[in-house]
Structures are given as structure tokens and as C-alpha cells.
Chains A and B, each alone.
Chain A
């Protein structure tokens, strides 16, 4: 743990970009909450830090919209359903929620376990691995391809596409946004013929189910399906990768906790939840203020970008008992790692399945790993991915 500190306003502004914030954000969150419920970063943006106001923002999409103005992704139409406001949002969620409900997702478990073990087969006997490249990056992507009925040979292409949208070289520059727009067009161009092919030749895959889905007489257009697939690609891959690396990095450094989970896999689901709370791999979600309003005593003008710090909400002592302690036996865990309100992560149940199965299989097959000696962990900005994550273990004869 880093030592608690009291940053100045300016330091707090810079803190988001600071390595400490990436590696060990919890004390920074505490300083933010101490500073205020809502912190003005500059003329055009505020940050929501306390649990109460985080919930207020997440639950009020009329004031705090997640539409296309909230974040630049290169897309030319709103991503569905994230960038759709009420009332249209509901008709899409009514159609999509059943496809991602827990009992639907549960049907994928055997396939997820098979793909997980295929990846572990490649390194289990090596005694060392860089977990991102060999496991945490390809796993959600191979599951995504299987779910959508796309060929596994397209894996490298999908990995490049998602990186070019989420973290193009230069991040926030004009050049980066040009790469985003070019890549976005590539996504539309890739999925368009797939959707048309499923219309004429249905298969047992998610795109076919999107083509067939109907609620209240409402069906999805081909453009709708492209806008849904685009969102899946940027919301469903890196998030699971980051959560896996945060979770394994934690367990690598806490051998007693790891051994207990390896010996008793039934303890893994609660560990998944507590690590989602503590690490909050997606620390903040983007909103834009629709009209002049007030939140947490701060006046916020229409057009202001609002970063809703769910990582801070998840470590707020006003909501969680012993909030700054990682407690795998926590009785109540109302964490917001998948957001809250109407835009609650559509893929949360799939993510939970992937995380549980990945940790079950990894610890069944490699129960006793450690960080490669001398490793200094680096957590990436905005999405807390631990890369590289080099692990070593004794290979059993």
C-alpha cells in the first residue's frame, strides 16, 4: 500500500495521470472524496468521487447522458445500447438483456472452459508465462469470436482493431482520432457482410439471434446490429483482460489467499466480486451533462464532461464497511464495478462467467505461482491493465 497523502488541488488534477493513481489508486480516491463529492478538473470537466453522487449520476441519464458526446470512439452512429438515451434505450435493452441473462450465459460455460484450457495448455509446462500475451488478452477475444460465430483465425485482426480504437498511438491527439475513425469504418466493413450472411443463412450464434430478435414488434436493423457489435468489441474484451490481470496480480502477491482459492474453488466467486470492488479495473465511466445542473453542491454547465469514478465509490467508507481492506468474506458487497442504473454493463454476467472459469482453471492447473522476481508492476491508465505480468512456478514432474 502507498502511504496516505493529502494532495493539493493542482496535484489532484494531475493525479489521474500519475503512476501512483494507476498502480495504487485507492488512497488517491480517498483524497478525492476528502476534497469533495464532485471535483472540478477544468472548465469543461468534473469528476464525481463519492458513492452517493456516483449513484445519483448513474441513475439519472436525463441529466448525465452517455451518448456520443461523452467519449470519442470513432463511431459515426451511437453505439447500442450505451450511447442511446431513454426512452429508446429501453427497447434495445429489452431485446438484448435476455441474450445476456445469466441462464443464457450459463450455456456457454463448457465452451468457455474448453477455450480457457486450450490457452493454459500452451504454457502450463513452461514454468513461466507473461500472462497478457498468453492468456488474459486472447481469452476474452476467442470467446467473443466463438459467441458471434466468427472464425478464430480473425483473432489477430480483432486484437489490432480493439487496440486502435481504445488506445491508438497518441491517445487524445487528432492523429489518434483519425486512426479511431479509420478503424471504426473497418469494423462496419467487417461486420456488414457477416450480418447479411446470417440473414440468408442462419446459424447457432449471437449475430443470428440479433437478426431474429423481436420485442414488442421491434426488430433490429442491420445498422443496429453493426452498432451493437462495435460496442461488444470495445466494451467486452479489454475490460475482462484488465480484470484478469488485476486479479491474478493481487493473488500472486497474496499467497495465502491464493492457496485458499486453489484448494477451495467454491471461494472463487466471492473473490471475483471483492477484487472487482477493490481493483475496479474500469475506474471511471464517461457521461456528459445534458443541461445546466447541480450535483454534490457543484454547479455543472450543459456540455460538461463528467467522469463518474466508480473506483472511488467502491472504496467509499460511507457505503462499505472496512472499505480499505480486501475481505474475501465480505457479507454485503454492493460494488459498482459494472456500473449502475440503466446502463449497467450488458455483458456483466458473461464477464463473471469468464472471470470465474479463468481463475478456477488457472488455479486448478497452476496453484502455486509467483511474480517473476524483481517485477515492478505497471498498471495502465484509464483501464487498469497490468502489463507485463510475468509469472513463474515450479513445474511438477
Chain B
């Protein structure tokens, strides 16, 4: 599983790293930074939770 964030679409709601802090982290402004682009199996649930809670749909998951 791979995760990507659209930096243009992210506006810093911060839901991703609040719910999935091992996959997503905040930059200085509180916008999303991907911590692990290639998501290991044990973090896939976190990755999905971040994607499913992004109001801007800025996170994209691909297999």
C-alpha cells in the first residue's frame, strides 16, 4: 500500500495525524506530511483511517 497527499488540497484540518500518527505527521503549519509512503501491513488500518477522515480528500491510497 502507498499513500500520497495532495499538498495543494491539504489545508491543515489535521485529522490524519490525529488519528494515524504513525503514517501522517504535521509540518510547521499543521499540514500533512507523509511519514511512510510505503505502508507496512501493520499500519494499513491507520493509513485508511487518515484517508477516510480527510475533509478535503487530499489523501490518496493505492495498492
Residues of A within 8 A of B (CB): 93-94, 97-98, 100-103, 269, 331-336, 338, 340-342, 344, 348-349
Taking CB atoms, residues of chain A closer than 8 Å to B17 are: 102
| B30 touching A333, Cβ below 8 Å | no
B35 to chain A, nearest CB (A): 15
Could you tell me the distance in whole angstroms from the C-beta of B63 to the nearest C-beta in chain A?
A: 18
Q: Can you list 25 A-B contacts with CB-CB less than 8 angstroms, sorted by A residue number?
A: A93-B29, A94-B29, A97-B28, A97-B30, A98-B30, A101-B28, A101-B30, A102-B17, A102-B18, A102-B30, A103-B26, A332-B52, A333-B52, A333-B53, A334-B55, A335-B55, A340-B11, A340-B55, A340-B56, A341-B56, A344-B11, A344-B13, A348-B13, A348-B14, A349-B14
Q: Are B29 and A338 in contact (CB under 8 A)?
A: no
Chain A residues within 8 Å of B18, by CB: 102, 269
Give the A-B pair count, Cβ closer than 8 A.
54
| Minimum CB distance partner of A337 in chain B | B55
Cβ contacts B19-63/A at 8 Å (1 or 0 each): 000000010111100000000000000000100111111000000
Which residue of the partner chain A has the closest CB to B10? A344
Per the bound structure, the CA–CA distance linking A117 and B45 in Å amounts to 36
Residues of B at under 8 Å CB distance from A? 11-14, 17-18, 26, 28-31, 49, 52-57
Which residue of chain B is the closest to A97 with respect to CB atoms? B29
Whether the pair B30, A349 counts as a contact (CB closer than 8 A) is: yes
Of chain A, the residue at the smallest CB distance from B27 is A101
In the complex, A106→B28 CA distance in Å? 14
Residue pair B30, A100 in contact (C-beta under 8 Å): yes
A334 to B28, CA, bound (A): 23
Query: Nearest chain B CB to A85's CB is how many angstroms away?
Result: 15
CA–CA, A349 and B18, complex, Å? 10
Contact between A102 and B26 (Cβ–Cβ < 8 Å)?
A: yes
Question: Would you call B12 and A334 a contact (CB within 8 A)?
Answer: no
Q: Output the least CB separation between B40 and chain A (Å).
A: 21
CA distance A224 to B10 in the complex (A): 26
Which of B26, B30, B55, B56: most chain A Cβ within 10 A? Answer: B55
Chain A residues lying within 8 Å of B56, measured Cβ to Cβ, are 340-341
Q: Which residue of A lies closest to B54 (CB)?
A: A334
Report if A101-B53 is in contact (Cβ < 8 Å); known contacts: A340-B11, A344-B11, A349-B14: no
> Would you call A98 and B53 a contact (CB within 8 A)?
no
Contact B11 A98 (CB under 8 A): no
A100-B30, A332-B49, A333-B52 given. 13 additional CB < 8 A pairs?
A101-B28, A101-B30, A102-B14, A102-B18, A103-B26, A332-B53, A333-B53, A338-B13, A340-B13, A341-B11, A344-B11, A344-B12, A348-B14
Q: Smallest distance from the beta carbon of A269 to chain B beta carbons, Å?
A: 8
CA distance A344 to B12 in the complex (A): 8
| Alpha-carbon distance A333/B26, docked complex (angstroms) | 19
